[in-house]
Amino acid sequence: MTSKSDYKALLRRTHDLTPAQRLVVMLYALSDSDRGGVVRETGQDLAEQLGMTPTVFSRIRKQLVEAGWLEQSEKFAHITYFRLSPQALGEQTVVPMRRAI
């Protein structure tokens, strides 16, 4: 995500989520990430930025993973990193079929 219009489009796509879920999605969109889109901050640090307890943040993040908005990327020791899913980014995940010759 790089432009205001990208963030606005993401907000529109999240209209069915709760306000807290939308905050978490937007925080992931606005956070620094590596080339693969992975946000390398702990859940505790992200929760603090939103003024949430780590427990509440973790529960909301789990809901977003189950709903397909976030996906787990990597796990180092006891820290798990996440990124926005293709659904959140508005990407088409269906590859069009080519006609057989």
pLDDT for the residue numbered 80: 92
Gap between the Cα atoms of 77 and 65, Å rounded: 20
In DSSP notation, 3-32 reads SHHHHHHHHHHTTTS-HHHHHHHHHHHHS-
pLDDT of 97 higher than 60: no
| Domain regions of the chain by residue span | 4-89
Name 31's Cβ contacts closer than 8 Å, sequence gap at least 6: 39, 41, 46
Read off the pLDDT band of 88 (50, 70, 90).
Answer: confident
How many CB atoms within 10 Å of residue 80?
15
pTM of the model: 0.84
* pLDDT per position as a tens digit, 19-74: 999 999 999 999 999 998 999 999 999 999 999 999 999 999 999 999 999 999 88
CATH 1.10.10.10, domain 4-89, yes or no: yes
